[in-house]
Structure 1
């Protein structure tokens, strides 16, 4: 047994968290370890009254693409979705992308910052086949379960416009390597929104996997594609298994149009993930919360051929969300942190992700007065426990 003693879950009264077999078994009021516990050779970690949070959940990552830990690569190519795709396809082999070593480096960076679970999109295309999926699985295995990795087979170069990609998505689903298949801007990439979505939903329904689709299109074009998603999700009974990544147009809708769209999304059980990028339209987060629309946060790509930015710190992403959406009260700032942790359980196939009995023992200790203080300072992580074992101390991974 492991006891993490004298910690303050979400800034509340001090407790001792009892852990066995990687799972929290009890959260009792803090007290001195008794003789019986000492005699049973219980390992005790003194939490020193630190703030305790559940491990962070990165609900939208691309761990196959990062060149973290390698020599700097200058930004190049055209600054459009098509331009970024073309540049990546032309340059990625030069930098050894994808690779198991590269994925391992970025997963270790996640752990260093307290992220203990992630959903990662992994490129599946005619150039790499399913190799990226295999490499990310190898990287996760090398960390011996410290970080849970859910995989999405992602057709970054398009679906219908690249014959053979649908077969690869189907193969990935058939092999059981993934929890979802992805898609990309059906209207502007494939120029056939009905065709791409019909093909993706056919695989998802037949193989019993989810859909997590990148939608960057703005305005009415973006909203039209949400409507197509809603129709197909309802028709096939896929509530709770369809997610929109980015979905910039949702924050651009107003009035009755926005209200009608939010109600339809809630009724169809479609979830949303955002990286809260600067200069994007704020999401209608209050309406989403009131209607029970699941919302998660993610880092997107980190130091890759799409962008030189990012370091894998989900607390920084939560701060970006708070700033973009004008959050100021302690309750709202705490909500931003919940989006990056406890509220994101379903994105990594968990019913619950908390500091409570029955939950996997993923615990982050921070030297902060309360959650709002930890968020606004992006407080350093003093200790990270994943699956009941210490994986990082004072910002250094010890695996």
Structure 2
């Protein structure tokens, strides 16, 4: 396949040769060359890596359903109970909602997804099975990793551990944990179960951390201890963790250094809060940082529209980025930063000015989008998009193809 007349990361007009699932060549655009059957007309659009959403809750989505009043109360447990009361209240089968949400994400430019699948004594494996079915349905359109996730905690309700283990037997890719101190109130036992199951089934760990200040640092230190003791370098992600930079500069610097040493990744949803570890410092220290949309217009929040270009704008905005190299860093985090969490073979940004993902030898998971520059694409969030996964067009004009 030849992608004609595109501008990789905003560079000059180029023709990009795709062989199999890889970029084989990038050469100056030849306007005189006749197009061949199967070529993609870039029309001068930007060529970027496709997006990687590494923190999304496909299982709780209401995308495609009528908008409803938000009824959640503050706090993880209250929000979870609100979800539990309402998630079955729809005439649309849950599996169809999940698949429809993933379809819209792909259509808008996301081809790498790490999604939570809630497992507890209420939904048991129903939500997990819906997510696994969506993964299978769109296996040719996107890479999907499914995380078995104890949204209601592990210790509060008897029987939860059995359901978590069964989901791992059935093919969950990642073992999740959540607020080990604040929700389950027994961080040692909580994390011992999380890491024990991960080690038993040889999967990665992702800790969903909302805990503030020193409490969040304490739980994180327990995660660091287990990562080091079990040799799980490169197999642990801290999601949210937006209070780790609120204690003091020395603590922030130490945590960043330990994350880099143990290759502990971070997944952010670009929250509008202070006290986060600084994004530029994390990337420059060598920490893998990815971006996600979190919920998608669900029972937790009315936000989320399946568009990671919108969430990249939010990441730039909440970090106060104005310079082009900073905004482009947000774009690199939203694309290749997350890709490098899902696969360590993927190149990733390690500093300002880097533009990974569209070079010869890179995987052909790509997004063509209208825009003058990468920064303008983030600001304007154009809709003229073509999406490639493994060297094949999987979406065009915001519509998925080949299903």
Q: Give the equivalent residue in structure 1 for 2:142.
A: 147
- Distance in structure 2 (CA, Å) of the matches to 1:305 and 1:97: 16
TM-score, length basis structure 1: 0.93
Shift of 1:392: 2.8
Check conservation: 2:63, 2:100, Cα contact below 8 A: yes
Question: 1:272 aligned to 2:239?
Answer: no
Counterpart selection for 2:393 from 376, 390, 393: 390
Distance 1:398 1:280, change over 3 A: farther
Query: Unaligned 5+ residue runs, structure 1?
Result: none
- Deviation by residue 1:334-372 (Cα, 9 ceiling, x = unmatched): 000000102222233351262234433222112211111
Check conservation: 1:243, 1:270, Cα contact below 8 A: yes
Counterpart selection for 2:224 from 227, 230, 245: 230
Question: 1:379 aligned to 2:382?
Answer: yes
TM-score, length basis structure 2: 0.92
Q: Give the equivalent residue in structure 2 for 1:187.
A: 181
- Distance in structure 2 (CA, Å) of the matches to 1:330 and 1:358: 26
Check conservation: 1:119, 1:347, Cα contact below 8 A: no
Query: Unaligned 5+ residue runs, structure 2?
Result: 348-356
Question: 1:362 aligned to 2:356?
Answer: no
- Deviation by residue 1:93-128 (Cα, 9 ceiling, x = unmatched): 213697221111111211222111110011111222
Check conservation: 1:114, 1:381, Cα contact below 8 A: no
- Distance in structure 1 (CA, Å) of the matches to 2:92 and 2:150: 15
Counterpart selection for 1:76 from 71, 75, 78: 71
Q: Give the equivalent residue in structure 2 for 1:18.
A: 17
Question: 1:340 aligned to 2:334?
Answer: yes
Question: 1:260 aligned to 2:287?
Answer: no
Matches within 5 A, 1:1-399: 2-32=1-31, 42-95=37-90, 99-175=94-170, 177-349=171-343, 351-352=345-346, 354-399=357-402
Check conservation: 2:61, 2:295, Cα contact below 8 A: yes
- Deviation by residue 1:7-52 (Cα, 9 ceiling, x = unmatched): 11101122222223343333233225768xx7xx642122122111
Check conservation: 2:207, 2:238, Cα contact below 8 A: yes
- Distance in structure 2 (CA, Å) of the matches to 1:290 and 1:23: 27
**SS in structure 1 at match of 2:359:** coil
Shift of 1:374: 0.9
Distance 1:282 1:226, change over 3 A: closer
- Distance in structure 2 (CA, Å) of the matches to 1:279 and 1:258: 16
- Distance in structure 2 (CA, Å) of the matches to 1:96 and 1:275: 30
Shift of 1:169: 2.2
**SS in structure 2 at match of 1:343:** helix
Q: CA RMSD in A?
A: 2.0
- Distance in structure 2 (CA, Å) of the matches to 1:273 and 1:47: 31
- Distance in structure 1 (CA, Å) of the matches to 2:155 and 2:330: 37
